[in-house]
Structure 1
């Protein structure tokens, strides 16, 4: 395929069309997330012999019959003692069809913020449900967080089917309830759930079209994890691993508007290139090409891309997520933190930021707090002007004027920054629509933010509620 933008071979021709998948697991406590991950690693032959031997030894020490595959991911001593996942465990494995980066996230409500961390860069989330309990509060919470973070794909893994006699009606009822909840989130195009030929799936979307695919499994017994289950011949869809290997995740960068945060200014002192001035960074989205008119934000000055260097060699175009150096035709004042974008499709620079946030720190976030806001490569001072509402994930209602956000809370905030920021709406770009709030005193990450109306379920009530010196700016 030839790129319609550059006239050269498109990005999808330069690399395998699904070479890497980042995914996260989520679910309630004891739903079997770590066991599922262990089963994936074990049955896909991604566990080294010494690792398996250590797991078998630890399992015998705990009096478990056979290896406890959950121990492959639960590495902290407290996790092994309590039998729960506390920290996000990252694992890397590969099959002949795809490479994977997996984030096994905690299921306890106390660690919802860890799920946000694991899913923030994920292209797919596996939400586990215990077939005996069905959709519970944490299931809804994790689905809402996945929707909030705009995770492109969800796998609803109905686990422990062996404990309900592999009953098809149980699976169908859970998939239908989850589908209804997903539809209530109000995210366009995210209400389709594929059950791949199981009961109650009439009219459901195909796995390729659905945001969510439901799969009945038994992680402990291995049913439909890596190999198809002989106990559920009524299910005609893919196994978990098959779906992970085939789900489409590589989007054509040409569909996105180009964004290039400047990370470093390169000025080599050499006789060969005495006037060289390049702006190095990673293309956050879209495609940039030589000769393209661009604007540098927040200054608003315009120029043209004179050259693009990749690994020291000139190229005609660059696309996300390549790391390159741009050279502009004009001698502009460009520094780290500036954003280079197409002149005809640039975001608006603003000092007033309205966003949906997930608070991850133990210290509460209050109106009037002074913070640092980190957006791509730019960090500026900011102040919290208002906290209009907090989201109640149980019924998706908005609690107005909560006064503060505590750990694991999701809510809306209004910020005033000391300098303009070129923010996109998070719904349009996960990369340039997201930011972090940082404690200026000790550098602690306080809040993960998504600019704009990132989550619109339930009515929100906002009112002018100035707090202290919030009105005076950052």
Structure 2
């Protein structure tokens, strides 16, 4: 079975945690002892006698406030698919949490309170989805039970959000009227909204196509480990292990090793300890090359006719994750998959307002949760694609040199 990674986002108290709890509960993904504990802790009980939001509101502070302040990951499966859910916070001061949660997601579910309609936080979450180039958006109009399951209310919200989606270039938007509290249109079709003719939300999530996200054209492989057993049996064995980031590789392919820009040929391809004819995107593999070349961790193997960018200076969008402020001239490490390089912030060009997408000047420094466009310069060349072309080779993190803590999420431009 394949895996769908998705994130939920919405304003405070829009029902994100309850929706996830409903998916877990109705798909029978909760163990008996968890269910018993849930019943004891529940204060805001539904018809089943439980408060489903508790399943994801794991932090004590969250339970006291009734809000989500961290990204909670939950896993469940149906006979058709496995799922990884990221429950992102709605507060603007936790923008960093939403960006880190959405960075690995293939789909975003934006919840809208049927009583409130499209509000400022809805637009902000949609803007972040557009910045992260999310290819699929699900708009779940929640709490339909509090507006008498009105078709007119749903259609009005759908019309309003269509304008937001069009202005941000969001495509593949699907709409669902739901009640997470009562379970309407989550796992089973709601008898109270017979006017909605489409499938329930879980059926949609089980069947939405995700394989098309895999890039089989731009061949990218980064060395994670050089295998040199140096045993009598494998005296001359030298293999380069890693994951096929994108594209395909087979014996005889003419490749270029970057950043040194040396050409060679693939002499053998292995996966799972067995020699194979070809390996594909997302597979772990060991590649062998025909020539004796000095290759180390972090180097890229790419097809000679389709190379990524190799630059020492480049632009990027950075979501700042640290309480210590970012200023021009600051030095960090940039971690780009398995490659770690020293870098300096040469210029902070502008700040992006996550509520409007407007570009505003940066007066002195960049604070926690702010998103800025910067120009970075690295000590050695970085091999990358633009985030829009390949989000795996187009993303990185900034790491503090002294504390080794992650201080910035980077989208390369």
TM bucket normalised to smaller: over 0.9
Q: Would the aligned equivalents of 2:244 and 2:280 in 1 still touch at CA under 8 Å?
A: yes
Shift of 1:254: 6.2
* SS of match in other structure, 1:405: coil
Aligned equivalent of 1:319, options 280, 296, 304: 280
Q: Would the aligned equivalents of 1:347 and 1:424 in 2 still touch at CA under 8 Å?
A: yes
Deviates more, 1:43-52 or 1:393-402: 393-402
Match of residue 240 from structure 2: 279
Match of residue 199 from structure 1: none
Q: Cα distance 1:407–1:348, how it changes in 2: closer, same or farther (>3 A)? A: same
Q: Would the aligned equivalents of 1:260 and 1:281 in 2 still touch at CA under 8 Å?
A: yes
Shift of 1:253: 4.7
Shift of 1:395: 2.3
Q: Would the aligned equivalents of 2:10 and 2:122 in 1 still touch at CA under 8 Å?
A: yes
Matched, 1:306 2:267: yes
Matched, 1:127 2:136: no
Deviations 1:378-424 (A, max 9, x none): 01000001111111122221102443221111120100001000110
Match of residue 107 from structure 1: 90
Q: Would the aligned equivalents of 1:308 and 1:326 in 2 still touch at CA under 8 Å?
A: yes
Match of residue 181 from structure 1: 164
The alignment's TM-score, normalised by the length of structure 1, stands at 0.85
Matched, 1:388 2:371: no
**Could you tell me how far apart the structure 2 residues matched to 1:286 and 1:92 are?**
28
**Could you tell me how far apart the structure 2 residues matched to 1:252 and 1:179 are?**
24
**Could you tell me how far apart the structure 2 residues matched to 1:183 and 1:405 are?**
30
Shift of 1:79: 1.1
Shift of 1:57: 0.2
**Could you tell me how far apart the structure 2 residues matched to 1:395 and 1:309 are?**
49
Shift of 1:144: 1.3
Q: Would the aligned equivalents of 1:389 and 1:402 in 2 still touch at CA under 8 Å?
A: no
CA RMSD of aligned residues (A): 1.3
Deviations 1:100-159 (A, max 9, x none): 111111111121111111111011111101111111111111111112112221110010
How does 1:117-156 map onto structure 2 within 5 Å? 117-156=100-139
**Could you tell me how far apart the structure 2 residues matched to 1:110 and 1:349 are?**
35
Aligned equivalent of 1:71, options 54, 66, 83: 54
* SS of match in other structure, 1:284: strand
Q: Would the aligned equivalents of 2:22 and 2:183 in 1 still touch at CA under 8 Å?
A: yes
* SS of match in other structure, 2:380: strand
Match of residue 470 from structure 1: none
Q: Cα distance 1:254–1:449, how it changes in 2: closer, same or farther (>3 A)? A: closer
* SS of match in other structure, 1:350: strand
Aligned equivalent of 2:379, options 418, 423, 447: 418
Structure 2: state its 5+ residue gaps: none
**Could you tell me how far apart the structure 2 residues matched to 1:69 and 1:432 are?**
38
Shift of 1:77: 1.1
Q: Would the aligned equivalents of 2:44 and 2:51 in 1 still touch at CA under 8 Å?
A: no
Q: Would the aligned equivalents of 1:253 and 1:287 in 2 still touch at CA under 8 Å?
A: no
Match of residue 183 from structure 2: 222
Q: Would the aligned equivalents of 1:166 and 1:231 in 2 still touch at CA under 8 Å?
A: yes
* SS of match in other structure, 1:374: strand
Match of residue 258 from structure 1: 219
Matched, 1:336 2:297: yes
Q: Cα distance 1:364–1:139, how it changes in 2: closer, same or farther (>3 A)? A: same
Shift of 1:256: 2.8
Shift of 1:251: 2.3
Q: Would the aligned equivalents of 2:72 and 2:86 in 1 still touch at CA under 8 Å?
A: yes
Q: Would the aligned equivalents of 2:216 and 2:246 in 1 still touch at CA under 8 Å?
A: no
Match of residue 44 from structure 1: 27
Q: Would the aligned equivalents of 1:253 and 1:319 in 2 still touch at CA under 8 Å?
A: no
**Could you tell me how far apart the structure 1 residues matched to 2:45 and 2:182 are?**
15
**Could you tell me how far apart the structure 2 residues matched to 1:265 and 1:354 are?**
31
Q: Would the aligned equivalents of 2:9 and 2:16 in 1 still touch at CA under 8 Å?
A: yes
* SS of match in other structure, 1:75: coil
Q: Cα distance 1:32–1:125, how it changes in 2: closer, same or farther (>3 A)? A: same
Matched, 1:451 2:412: yes
Aligned pair count?
411
**Could you tell me how far apart the structure 2 residues matched to 1:99 and 1:288 are?**
28
The alignment's TM-score, normalised by the length of structure 2, stands at 0.97
**Could you tell me how far apart the structure 1 residues matched to 2:173 and 2:358 are?**
23
Deviations 1:269-301 (A, max 9, x none): 111221111110011111111110111110000
Q: Would the aligned equivalents of 2:17 and 2:53 in 1 still touch at CA under 8 Å?
A: yes
**Could you tell me how far apart the structure 1 residues matched to 2:365 and 2:383 are?**
27
Shift of 1:348: 2.2
Match of residue 438 from structure 1: 399
Deviates more, 1:398-407 or 1:156-165: 398-407
